[in-house]
Amino acid sequence: MHMDILMQNVERVRLEDPTKFNRLVQEGMAIELGIIQPAGKKEKTKEKFIAEFFPNDKKYAAVAQSVLDGKRKITEGLVKELIDAGKDPVDLVTNALMPGITVQCEMYDAGLSFVPEILMSNDAMQGGIKLCQDKIGNVPSKGTVVSFVAEGDLHDIGKNICAAIMRANGFKVIDIGRDVSKDKVLQTVKENDVKLACGSTLMSTTKPGLIDTSLLLELEKTGVSVACGGAAVSKAFVDTFRNAVYTKSPLETVHTMEKVLKGETWEKLR
């Protein structure tokens, strides 16, 4: 930083809040005064995460790496080879595919990777999982959610991000797309062992779809609540109807799902 900029910073803190200034000087808090740039914050690195989560087996690690790189074709090729070599598909999912997305997700939380990369890794992992599924039917997961965008709305970028992050955290996501009617959600919930529905909308005109869906799932005694998100939705809005909780970010949805699996109800989650 330039010297004059630095002094301006210091001067600003002194003028704006003299008590804070004195305290900071006494405590030697140079960072907050703007004298030193925060350093060493990036202790978390890609390498550390890889060392922590990747499998030891070379071939498994290669799968994890291709998921991390977001390479669907390569992932599929490697997984196919391993299945043909007689590896257990369930083991492949948990110990080869998942570690790749786990590292991506840890990096995302640490600000080292970003939404496009999560989506690409998710895509690569889905390719691999599909091959394993073809072999054994259902792949075990921590629990299943259904993900949808309310009827009348086509904005699905946020929903896709949310679905990818849920998958990266070990949940199975049945993505039934956008412009989805409440009946379609109900049908999906009935036909699958769904624990939570994740609905979103970005338009004010389509918000009622979330209300209708939540109420229908309650009326039909499915025992499934709706986690509502998306830019048009707020806590105040969701608090006006039953059987739903507001989740601001995909990460909050992950936490909500974890609590749902522990048996918490929507009333408690609010």
Partner 1 sequence: MPAQGVAIDIGTSGIRAQLLELGSGRVIRTRVTSRNPVPGANVMDHMSFAIQHGEKLAHELITEACTQLIASLQPDDLKRIAVCGNPIQLSLFEGIGIQDLAYAGDNMIDNHGIVRQERRGHIINGDFLGYPKAEVIIPPAIRHEIGADALAMMVKSGFLDDDYCMVTDYGTNAEMALKIGDKIYTGSAAAGPAMEGQQIRCGMLASPGAISDLVRTPQGWQTKILNREMYTEDGPIINLRSNMARNTGAVPKGITGTGVVSMVYALQQDDQISENRMFHDPVSITRKVRFGIDDYREAGKAIGAIRAGHLTLMLIAKVDPRQIKTMYMAGASGTYVDPVKAKHVGLIIPYCTVAKQVGNTSLELAKDLVLRPEYLDELNEMRKRLLTDHTMFAASDIFRDLYTYEFGYWNEGMPISRYKRGLERYGVEGYLDEQMPPKVDRLYERDIRDIGESIETLELSPMMTASWSCSRCGTCVRGCPEKALTLEDGVFRIRTGYCLGTACQRCQESCPEHKYDYSAFKISQPSAVGKTPERF
| Collapsed DSSP state (helix, strand, coil) of residue 232 | coil
| Collapsed DSSP state (helix, strand, coil) of residue 54 | coil
The Cα-based distances of 268 to 90, 175, 188, 197, 201 in angstroms read: 34, 26, 25, 17, 24
Element (H, E) at 210: helix 208-219
| Site membership for partner 1, residue 117 (CB under 8 A) | yes
Query: CA-CA distance, 199 to 92, in Å (whole number)?
Result: 30
What residues numbered 228-257 form the site for ligand B12, per CB under 6 A?
229-232, 247, 249-250, 253
Answer with the entry of partner 1, ligand B12, none that 114 interacts with (C-beta below 5 to 8 A by kind).
partner 1
CB of 256 vs ligand B12, minimal distance in Å = 8
Which lies closer to partner 1 via its Cβ, residue 205 or residue 265? 205
Specify the stretch interacting with partner 1 by CB under 8 A; choose among 8-16, 25-33, 244-252, 256-264.
Answer: 8-16
Compute how many residues bind ligand B12; rule: CB under 6 A: 23
Which lies closer to ligand B12 via its Cβ, residue 125 or residue 202? 202
Query: CA-CA distance, 247 to 256, in Å (whole number)?
Result: 8
Specify the stretch interacting with partner 1 by CB under 8 A; choose among 50-58, 129-137, 175-183, 211-219.
Answer: 175-183
10 Å CB burial of residue 191 (0-12, 13-18, 19+) is: exposed
Neighbours of 212 (CB within 10 A): 16
| Site membership for partner 1, residue 12 (CB under 8 A) | yes
User: Among candidates 170, 234, 173, which has minimal Cα distance to 198?
Assistant: 173
What residues numbered 10-39 form the site for ligand B12, per CB under 6 A?
none
| Site membership for partner 1, residue 168 (CB under 8 A) | no
CB of 205 vs partner 1, minimal distance in Å = 4
Q: Are strands 194-200 and 244-246 parallel, antiparallel or unpaired?
A: unpaired
The binder of partner 1 chosen from 136, 157, 219, 261 (CB under 8 A): 157
CB of 187 vs ligand B12, minimal distance in Å = 19
The binder of ligand B12 chosen from 78, 162, 185, 196 (CB under 6 A): 162
Specify the stretch interacting with ligand B12 by CB under 6 A; choose among 37-45, 59-67, 88-96, 151-159.
Answer: 151-159
Neighbours of 27 (CB within 10 A): 9
What residues numbered 169-228 form the site for ligand B12, per CB under 6 A?
198, 200, 202-205, 227
Which lies closer to ligand B12 via its Cβ, residue 76 or residue 106? 106
User: Among candidates 142, 141, 65, which has minimal Cα distance to 99?
Assistant: 65
Compute how many residues bind partner 1; rule: CB under 8 A: 31
Query: Helix count (H) and strand count (E) of the chain?
Result: 15, 5
Answer with the entry of ligand B12, partner 1, none that 8 interacts with (C-beta below 5 to 8 A by kind).
partner 1
Check the CA dihedral 22-23-24-27 and report its sign: positive
| Site membership for partner 1, residue 154 (CB under 8 A) | yes
